[in-house]
């Protein structure tokens, strides 16, 4: 190893450890162990442009082992991104630009928020998929407009997560050859040695999933690291490079789990410096290191980007039409202006909202060539599938991704597609199995990422399949998630608007749920109302005594209950509230107009009652699991008929 490489790596190690010690919090183990890996990747391979951090054809780097954030911030600093030395010194402090784990949108150069192990590696599959799709769409002879790698650094914990195996299995099947995973294989994790937990053959496992496997026996040997990455770049399959490293390399307790996540005491830092033979300044980089990164990362990256910009200018001359389309993809310039030919439903017709959802997605796919998605082996049930055939090596322009029964990876891959840019990802499944993918939706919400999550079979009206398949508490779960728009439309009018809102939004994830069973298309539902989250769908003929609030498949039943009460001289308005999230953003006046203060408010939903107490005095919900039975018995059994609801409302009014 050249002396400059040694100096760079040791400065990364020491400054990283010092950042963590100063912060009194962080994970020195991975910083000390994996520094040579990322030094090699950044100085010899990765193409990124600190002057244009969103350069479209940049290599994507994902720190799946998000606890190694200190090392990533150091590299971004040295590579010329907007992370200063002071930011490094403020690691993990209140308001700092260097938070505990890498945060997308908060730290320039961070491609994805990571920390929950497994998410990063799974999302990287979505990024590699997006790259492959866009390359197939736009590249022309002599013009590899889209031609970049997706690199991941992961640890033992990442690979123990089920989501990683789901994603790796799909990546191998899809032959995503430009995906390169660098596996920091140090045989140690938080609680002790990995061999207390794992004994499988990583090589055999990945090869069985159609991956290329490379082993680097000494993670400090940058010649081996460099040549492994070169081999991976030429591979015709996705590659995992298992790199044997020593956790906490150079620290007195190196190789032990105690170095994983505890700041090193000052004495240990002294010992580290001595063991590494390093005497650079404290919390600063030697001039040679700064210059080396400037030449080998910053300037190399700027050169690569400017070469690409020149190529794009020539592409514009030679392929005008493709260029214009490419720009639209790159900046997501597709607009939903003219929707005059959107499928329409007659008032009084009956259809399940899942069928309507599927139909609208098919329609919007013709307007939005940049949307891509699919279902977790349920497209014939959710009705959600992408256009242009099944995506895969023989049809890289297919926009229907067959995710297989891999819900968690599906949602994280959807995030990766959306994060990559150029495409917007969506995915679908049974609502009850949204439990399997919730962590990825949560990350989308944290990242302000407009990934779309569509679910069918949104109540116990699933019926025969029984309680394992009947959602009850899932709406509560998503409605309680910050920065997440949950829309539960009542009919085709509301579903159409839900889809327009979902695909038109750019700042948060949207969850749309739909019914298994047919629902009547109502005259009183309103697209404008959906935009506001809630609106009066039924107004009583005389001054209302109570406001009933409902949504989804229970809206028409609640309206029928109000009509029944009206026959008895009890007047109630009915509010349709498809989105609590949007309603919460309305003015105080509007909220009070919809939900008058001085009147009894009763919410009706065939799901857990909890979220409704924010708006209602009484909640007619379902706080138990369902049971297997044909759907025709469900409403009767659980009291979700107009008769049962109206009786209960009388009771509430007489309280
Ligand atoms: C989903 C999830 N579970 C648990 C954790 C807490 N955690 C962070 S790092 C870690 C150990 C991971 O071991 P490894 O990947 O080998 O990292 P190393 O100790 O080698 O740095 C754990 C359990 C987490 N961040 N995410
Ligand atoms: Mg480990």
**Residues 419-458: tens digit of each pLDDT:** 999 999 999 999 999 999 999 999 999 999 999 999 999 9
pLDDT of residue 2: 85
pLDDT-derived band at 607, boundaries 50, 70, 90 = very high
Q: Is residue 56 within 8 Å of residue 422, measured between CB atoms? A: yes
Q: Inform me whether the pLDDT recorded for 374 exceeds 90.
A: yes
Q: Average pLDDT, stretch 82-86?
A: 98
Q: From the CA of 160, which ligand is nearest?
A: 1
529 lines ligand 1 (CB under 6 A): no
β-sheet bridge partners, residue 536: 575
Say whether pLDDT at 1 is over 80.
no
| Ligand 1 pocket member 414 (CB < 6 A) | no
Ligand 1: centre distance to CA 433 (Å) = 25
Distance CA 208, CA 628 (A): 39
Distances (CA, A) of 171 to 66, 99, 127: 21, 30, 11
Q: What pLDDT sits at residue 557? A: 98
Ligand 1 proximity of 186 Cβ (cutoff 6 Å): yes
The Å distance, Cα 99 to ligand 2 centre, comes to 22
Q: Are 640 and 624 in contact (CB under 8 A)?
A: no
Cα–ligand 1 centroid distance for 260 (angstroms): 9
CB-count burial class (<10 Å; 0-12, 13-18, 19+) for 631: middle
Query: What are the residues facing 604 on neighbouring strands?
Result: 550, 620
Residue 105's CB is within 10 A of a number of other CB atoms, namely: 12
205: pLDDT strictly greater than 80: yes
Round to whole Å and give the CA distance between 369 and 364. Answer: 9
Total number of residues shown for the chain: 655
Confidence check: pLDDT of 297 > 90: yes
Report helix angle 438-447 to 119-138, nearest 10: 70
Distances (CA, A) of 91 to 102, 249, 461, 487: 11, 21, 50, 38
- Ligand positioned closest to the Cα atom of 164: 1
Query: Can you tell me the mean pLDDT for 173-193?
Result: 98
The Cα–Cα gap between 171 and 135 comes to: 17
Q: How confident is the model at residue 645 (pLDDT cuts 50, 70, 90)?
A: very high
Do 646 and 572 meet the contact criterion of CB atoms below 8 Å apart? no
* Percent of the chain residues topping a pLDDT of 70: 100
- CA angle, 116 then 119 then 124, to 5°: 145
Atom of ligand 1 nearest to the CA of 194: 16
Domains in the chain (CATH in brackets) are: 3-304 (3.40.50.970), 350-520 (3.40.50.970), 532-654 (3.40.50.920)
Q: Which two tokens stand for residue 641?
A: 């008929």
431 CB-side CA count, 13 A = 29
User: Does the structure show a pLDDT above 90 at 232?
Assistant: yes
5 lines ligand 1 (CB under 6 A): no
Across 126-132, average pLDDT? 98
Residues 365, 369, 371, 377, CA torsion sign: positive
Residues 263-280, mean pLDDT to the nearest whole number: 98
Sort 551 into a burial class: Cβ within 10 Å, 0-12 / 13-18 / 19+: buried
CB of 36 closer than 6 A to ligand 1?
no
321 Cβ neighbours under 8 A, 6+ residues apart? none
Mean pLDDT, the chain, integer: 98
Our answer on whether the CB atom of 177 is closer than 6 Å to any ligand 1 atom is: no
Structure tokens at 134: 């866009």
What would the mean pLDDT of 169-190 be, rounded to a whole number? Answer: 98
The total of other beta-carbon atoms located within 10 Å of residue 320's CB is 10
pLDDT band per the 50, 70, 90 thresholds, residue 638: very high
Residue 247 alpha carbon, nearest atom of ligand 1: 20
**389: confidence class by pLDDT, cuts 50, 70, 90:** very high
Query: Which residue has a Cα nearest atom 19 of ligand 1?
Result: 189
Residue 597 has a CB neighbour count (10 Å cut-off) of: 7
Q: Which ligand is nearest to the CA of 191?
A: 1
Indicate if the pLDDT at residue 302 is higher than 80.
yes
How many Å lie between the centroid of ligand 1 and the Cα of residue 222? 25
Question: Could you tell which of 20, 117, 262 is best to mutate to test the pocket of ligand 1, judged by most ligand atoms within 8 Å of the CB?
Answer: 117
Q: How far apart, in Å, are the Cα atoms of 343 and each of 497, 528, 529?
A: 12, 18, 19
Ligand 1 pocket mutation, candidates 17, 65, 190, criterion most atoms within 8 A of CB: 190
Query: 188 CB less than 6 Å from ligand 1?
Result: yes
655 pLDDT higher than 90: no
Indicate if ligand 1 lies below 6 Å from the C-beta of 30.
yes
Q: How far apart are CA 383 and CA 503, in angstroms?
A: 17
| Catalytically annotated residues | 407
């Amino acid at each position: 190893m050249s002396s400059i490489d040694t100096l760079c790596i040791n400065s990364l190690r020491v400054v990283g450890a010092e950042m963590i010690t100063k912060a009194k919090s962080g994970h020195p183990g991975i910083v000390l162990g994996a520094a040579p890996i990322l030094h090699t990747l950044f100085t010899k391979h990765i193409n990124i442009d600190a002057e244009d951090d969103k350069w479209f054809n940049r290599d994507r780097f994902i720190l799946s082992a998000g606890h190694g954030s200190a090392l990533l911030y150091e590299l971004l600093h040295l590579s010329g991104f907007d992370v200063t030395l002071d930011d490094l010194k403020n690691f993990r402090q209140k308001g700092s630009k260097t938070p505990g784990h890498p945060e997308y949108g908060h730290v320039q150069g961070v491609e994805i928020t990571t920390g929950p192990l497994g998410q990063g590696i799974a999302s990287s599959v979505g990024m590699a998929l997006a790259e492959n799709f866009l390359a197939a769409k736009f590249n022309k002879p002599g013009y590899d407009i889209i031609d970049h790698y997706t690199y991941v650094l992961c640890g033992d914990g990442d690979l123990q997560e089920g989501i990683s195996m789901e994603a790796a299995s799909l990546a191998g099947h899809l032959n995503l050859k430009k995906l390169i995973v660098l596996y920091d294989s140090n045989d140690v994790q938080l609680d002790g040695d990995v061999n207390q937990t794992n004994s499988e053959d990583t090589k055999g496992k990945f090869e069985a999933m159609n991956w290329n496997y490379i082993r680097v026996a000494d993670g400090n040997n940058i010649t081996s690291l460099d040549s492994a990455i070169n081999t991976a770049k030429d591979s015709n399959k996705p590659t995992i490079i298992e790199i044997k490293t020593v956790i906490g390399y150079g620290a007195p307790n190196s190789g032990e789990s105690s170095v994983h996540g505890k700041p090193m005491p000052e004495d240990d830092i002294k010992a580290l410096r001595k063991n590494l033979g390093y005497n650079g300044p404290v919390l600063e980089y030697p001039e040679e290191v700064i210059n080396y990164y400037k030449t080998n990362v910053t300037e190399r990256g700027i050169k690569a980007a400017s070469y690409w910009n020149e190529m794009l200018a020539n592409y514009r001359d030679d392929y005008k039409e493709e260029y214009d389309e490419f720009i639209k993809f790159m900046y997501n310039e597709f607009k939903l202006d003219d929707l005059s030919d959107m499928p329409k439903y007659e008032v009084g017709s009956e259809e399940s909202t899942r069928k309507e959802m599927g139909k609208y997605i098919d329609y919007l796919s013709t307007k939005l060539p940049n949307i891509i998605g699919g279902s977790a082996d349920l497209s014939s049930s959710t009705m959600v599938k992408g256009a242009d055939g099944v995506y895969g090596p023989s049809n890289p322009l297919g926009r229907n991704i067959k995710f297989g029964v891999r819900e968690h990876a599906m949602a994280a891959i959807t995030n990766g597609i959306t994060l990559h840019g150029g495409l917007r990802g969506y995915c679908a499944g049974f609502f009850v199995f949204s439990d399997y993918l919730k962590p990825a939706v949560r990350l989308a919400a944290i990242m302000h990422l407009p990934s779309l999550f569509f679910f069918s079979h949104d109540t116990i009206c699933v019926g025969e399949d029984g309680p394992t398949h009947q959602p009850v508490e899932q709406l509560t779960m998503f409605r309680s998630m910050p920065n997440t728009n949950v829309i539960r439309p009542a009919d085709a009018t509301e579903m159409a608007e839900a889809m327009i809102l979902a695909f038109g939004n750019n700042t948060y994830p949207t969850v749309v749920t739909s019914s298994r069973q047919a629902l009547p298309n109502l005259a009183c539902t309103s697209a404008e109302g959906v935009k506001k989250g809630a609106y009066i769908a039924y107004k009583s003929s005389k001054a209302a005594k109570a406001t009933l609030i409902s949504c989804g498949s229970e809206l028409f039943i609640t309206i029928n209950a109000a009509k029944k009460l009206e026959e008895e001289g009890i007047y109630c308005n009915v509010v349709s509230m498809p989105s609590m999230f949007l309603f919460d953003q309305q003015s105080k006046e509007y909220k009070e107009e919809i939900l008058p203060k001085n009147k009894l408010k009763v919410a009706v939903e065939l799901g857990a009652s909890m979220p409704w107490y924010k708006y209602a005095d009484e909640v007619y919900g379902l706080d138990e699991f369902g049971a297997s039975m044909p759907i025709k018995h469900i409403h009767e059994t659980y009291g979700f008929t107009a008769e049962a609801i109206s009786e209960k409302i009388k009771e509430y009014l007489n309280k």
